[in-house]
Structure 1
Amino acid sequence: MQIDWSTIRTGHADRLHGATIDISGWMIPLDPQADAVDYFLLSADEPCCGGCVPRNPLTSIEVQMAALLAPQAEALALRGRLVCLLDDPAGWRYRLVDAVSLERPRASQRRFSRRAFLASGAALGLTACAPGHFAGYTEAHDETAQSTASAPSASSTQSETAPRWQAPAGTFTVDMHSHGGRVIVSRDPAIGAHRPFIPLAAPMRAGGMNVICLAIVTDTTVTRVADNRKRFEAWREPQPGELHALGQTEFLRAHQLIEREQIRVVTNTTSLTALGPQGPCAIISAEGADFLEGQVDRVDEAYTKHQLRHLQLTHYRVNELGDIQTEPPVHGGLTDIGAQVIQRCNALGIVVDVAHGTYDLVKRAADTSTKPLVLSHSALATHPGARSRLITPDHARVIAGTGGVIGVWPSSGTFHDLHAMANGVKRMADVVGVEHVGLGTDMLGFISPPVFRSYEQLPDLASALLQAGFSQQEVGAVLGGNYLRVFQASVG
């Protein structure tokens, strides 16, 4: 069945879930250096230059090929089985699976240069053309730069005039909250734990992101997207043992991704300070302690067996540990079990993360913990609405009062671009002090595409922070130094 992009844009393709379709479009791979790929985006429109890729999930679809396909520098036609994605963490609406290439259409198709084509695959969702890179990271970026060096663009002009962050000696960058590489299992039971990974180390190197807190999610099977794809909610109670088993699967996927991408795991301050400056490293993290199922001794299991060093207590399900921002309170904040989990994390050496928790949960957590807390991904709002993930100044001050860090996230519902995000970081710093602010990208964790979609954008974010009034040293603190302090105090 031949379909056109109007069927995708209007959502009428929902009715074709599971059908075999033919569709034509422009190939946008995620790895510009690959000779052949089996995963890429298919776009309705030809990229105008290297960094221009679709921002609207209804103008592109994910493609999983049945076999490797060499990069195509002109429009191509594909045949495959269409899958409607109800709750994809990256925000995509449709996927073409088991796809095969058909004869490429010849009628009046525009062409673009091989150089622009290669650059277009540098990263998913760049909001501008390929950015510059930090001083100190030029070697890692040189291979890509060689193929794009003579391809000037609008952003290259901007990068020549905008201030650039010069990383101070001993400084390295840390993302406090990331699902990079597609570590989370799919909510589609037909895919589940077999969801294919996407490149992670390459965009980290290209953008100068040294360390990520790689977060599994352990309430996936009992949560879903609701309110017309606007938020996540729990929709059923888990079976006994279900979420513990899900946690084991997700931890395994995290280590499989790490092995595939040749990323090094850091488990203490010594390994973090030794390996962090060298580039791609991961701190094993869990978003939501649902896999504990209320059993505190499972904290020890995750620490020893899976190298867990960063634990977020709650997520989108009101669990045994406490209440969440996006649902009515049940426990009155942190439960006694939640307090015991915090105490166990303090004793073992695990960073405690209170993102998604209510203000009452955070206040008791601060009174319970003997170590600094982090709130890995949120933003400041004076009066957050009901079910909002944003926090008040008082909420933020509780975290700062423990010596902790709040990670500002790049939600497009809060910030319209990276400069607005940088100003949001500035507002947070004005409230709690720059030493208590960090970066939590929630990479691949949004329903709608955020304003920071790839680690290749990190130089642009650093530049925006400088333009917002931060000093070179302060940018270093926000982009990693502050979290390093908390990790040292918490993990040892």
Structure 2
Amino acid sequence: MTPLDRSALKVDYFLLSVDEPCCGGCLQANPLSCIEVFATQPFTVTGDMLRLRGRLQPLFEDPAGWIYRLVDAFDLRPASPPSHQSIGRRAFLASSAALGLAACVPGRFAGYRDDASEAPQWQPSTTSPTIDMHSHAGRVIVSRDPLVGANRPFVPLSEPMRAGGMNVICLAIVTDTTVTHVSSDRKRFEAWRTPQPGELYALGKTEFARAHALVAREKMRVVTTAASLQAQAFSGPCAIIAAEGGDFLEGNINALDEAFTQHQLRHLQLTHYRVNELGDIQTEPPVHGGLTDFGADVIRRCNRLGIVVDVAHGTYALVKRAASTSTKPLVLSHTALSTHPGARSRLISPDHARAIADTGGVIGVWPSSGTFSDIHAMAEGVKRMADVVGVEHVGLGSDMLGFISPPVFRSYEQLPSLASALLSAGFTQNDVTQILGANYLRVFTESVG
């Protein structure tokens, strides 16, 4: 048992490894020697041998390199004094074999699904493309490490899209990376310094250039109108250029016109992880009381130019004023529903969701492992959102490669599995077509033309 936080006394997330490393910097290099574990209850950190039961999942393009995850894990050991026997290589391999056998035998443990034989089969639409409303796939974002920056290597994008049947992604740059970092509790990003004048505008130009370089490298197409999207979506992977946060504007609305004409921006999320000139964010105390006057001007300019307005990360107060300002449907690209979200939660309440739906807009459900235990739980989360706002107002916002912790949907190769999980949750084939693209296409058409 290898906790990632070596000082923790109890953990519900850890690695099951062949041999205990001497420190956090000496984790097993071979991914076959480690299983990532998400437990149902915290485990006391000891050197004892573990006997676990859960659901074994293969991982795809995991940022940390692991290829197996055990979810909903719980302790099978009897409630007796521990033996204090350290787990060795032979014991680990024996336990790994048992886990693999359990994962291959139908009905072996609670919650097991024989997906290959039981899951409904998705029938992709031949007329309505699949669209991810929010993605950083391909590793499009400039690194927060100043020694790497824009030299961060890309990872494959078009091939996973083809393999899973994802036609179009909203490829989102981020323009606050140089002034934000991971919080001390490693649960979110936060601003840690004030940017220099011109810094985030320059970062925006770098990020837009990087997005176009990724698209060219992957032999994808940038779509800028509804007509070009419909015409090209089925002939190969496509991208809609998006920006997560209007920080690059630095309060200058003319920079929005420049992004539209020079960088082909067609989807703008107003805020991200710093309280900027456009409004307040969910994860920090309010400063402006919601959307600012400049933020309202930006929305009106987006409506005129033909840019989708995305209010993800914005407070409920921001969303309400945005809804009264915009003449086009709003998007909230990546979140999930909660009856009572916490004070700084990225989740949204039913009223928050309805404010988007009332504009004719779409809410993207994300695959956060902090919200959902697996892809089936995510599908149920989509169902809960649809029950509140209607299926015509729900979409997919994967936030691909944008999470601190690995999500439950981490590669476009998993799209058929997600679609099948949605069918298992009670959606029809037509519902799934709407959720996986048609709903966003409607908003894109109304907003961009």
State the TM-score, normalizing by the size of structure 1: 0.72
Q: 1:293 to 1:52 in 2, by over 3 A?
A: same
- 1:172 matched to 2:172: no
Measured after TM superposition, the shift of residue 229 of structure 1 is 1.4
Measured after TM superposition, the shift of residue 46 of structure 1 is 9.3
Distance 1:468 1:227 in 2: 37
Q: Which residue of 2 aligns with 1:101?
A: none
- Among 430, 441, 445, the alignment partner of 1:484 is 441
Q: 1:422 to 1:46 in 2, by over 3 A?
A: closer
- Among 242, 248, 260, the alignment partner of 2:217 is 260
- 1:462 matched to 2:443: no
User: Contact between 2:61 and 2:411, CA under 8 Å: does it hold in 1?
Assistant: no
Measured after TM superposition, the shift of residue 279 of structure 1 is 3.0
Show the 5 A alignment for 1:434-445.
434-445=391-402
Distance 2:355 2:448 in 1: 21
Distance 1:282 1:425 in 2: 24
Q: Which residue of 1 aligns with 2:275?
A: 318
Show the 5 A alignment for 1:187-336.
187-336=144-293
Distance 2:248 2:224 in 1: 20
- Among 33, 37, 52, the alignment partner of 2:58 is 52
In the TM superposition, what whole-angstrom CA distance separates every residue of 1:318-369 from its partner, at most 9, and x where no partner exists? 0000000000000000000000000000000000000000000000000000
User: Contact between 2:35 and 2:66, CA under 8 Å: does it hold in 1?
Assistant: no
Q: Which residue of 1 aligns with 2:362?
A: 405
- Partner of 1:169, secondary structure, is coil
Q: Which residue of 2 aligns with 1:432?
A: 389
State the TM-score, normalizing by the size of structure 2: 0.79
Distance 2:294 2:330 in 1: 17
Measured after TM superposition, the shift of residue 162 of structure 1 is 1.1
Distance 2:139 2:18 in 1: 26
Report % sequence identity. 70
- Among 392, 402, 409, the alignment partner of 1:452 is 409
User: Contact between 1:312 and 1:352, CA under 8 Å: does it hold in 2?
Assistant: yes
Q: Which residue of 1 aligns with 2:24?
A: 11
Distance 1:450 1:9 in 2: 28
- 1:474 matched to 2:408: no
Show the 5 A alignment for 1:105-116.
none
Measured after TM superposition, the shift of residue 24 of structure 1 is 7.2
Measured after TM superposition, the shift of residue 230 of structure 1 is 1.3
Distance 1:300 1:316 in 2: 23
Q: 1:53 to 1:395 in 2, by over 3 A?
A: closer
- Among 389, 393, 417, the alignment partner of 2:350 is 393
Q: 1:273 to 1:471 in 2, by over 3 A?
A: same
Q: Which residue of 1 aligns with 2:337?
A: 380
Measured after TM superposition, the shift of residue 477 of structure 1 is 0.1
User: Contact between 2:18 and 2:33, CA under 8 Å: does it hold in 1?
Assistant: yes
Q: 1:222 to 1:165 in 2, by over 3 A?
A: same
Q: Which residue of 2 aligns with 1:29?
A: none
CA RMSD of the aligned region, Å?
2.7
Q: 1:444 to 1:172 in 2, by over 3 A?
A: same
Distance 1:255 1:7 in 2: 44
In the TM superposition, what whole-angstrom CA distance separates every residue of 1:442-484 from its partner, at most 9, and x where no partner exists? 0000000010010011100000000111000000000000000
Q: Which residue of 1 aligns with 2:86?
A: none
User: Contact between 1:241 and 1:293, CA under 8 Å: does it hold in 2?
Assistant: yes
In the TM superposition, what whole-angstrom CA distance separates every residue of 1:396-443 from its partner, at most 9, and x where no partner exists? 000000000000000011100111100100000000000000000000
User: Contact between 1:209 and 1:279, CA under 8 Å: does it hold in 2?
Assistant: no
Q: Give 1:52's aligned amino acid.
A: P
Q: Give 1:478's aligned amino acid.
A: I
Q: 1:43 to 1:319 in 2, by over 3 A?
A: farther
User: Contact between 1:245 and 1:291, CA under 8 Å: does it hold in 2?
Assistant: yes
- Partner of 2:334, secondary structure, is strand
Q: Which residue of 1 aligns with 2:322?
A: 365
Q: 1:256 to 1:433 in 2, by over 3 A?
A: same
Measured after TM superposition, the shift of residue 278 of structure 1 is 2.4
User: Contact between 1:409 and 1:439, CA under 8 Å: does it hold in 2?
Assistant: yes
Measured after TM superposition, the shift of residue 391 of structure 1 is 0.2
Distance 1:361 1:236 in 2: 23
Structure 1: unaligned runs, 5 residues or longer: 14-22, 27-41, 62-106, 112-127, 130-154
Measured after TM superposition, the shift of residue 59 of structure 1 is 7.6
User: Contact between 1:180 and 1:200, CA under 8 Å: does it hold in 2?
Assistant: yes
Measured after TM superposition, the shift of residue 167 of structure 1 is 2.0
User: Contact between 1:374 and 1:405, CA under 8 Å: does it hold in 2?
Assistant: yes
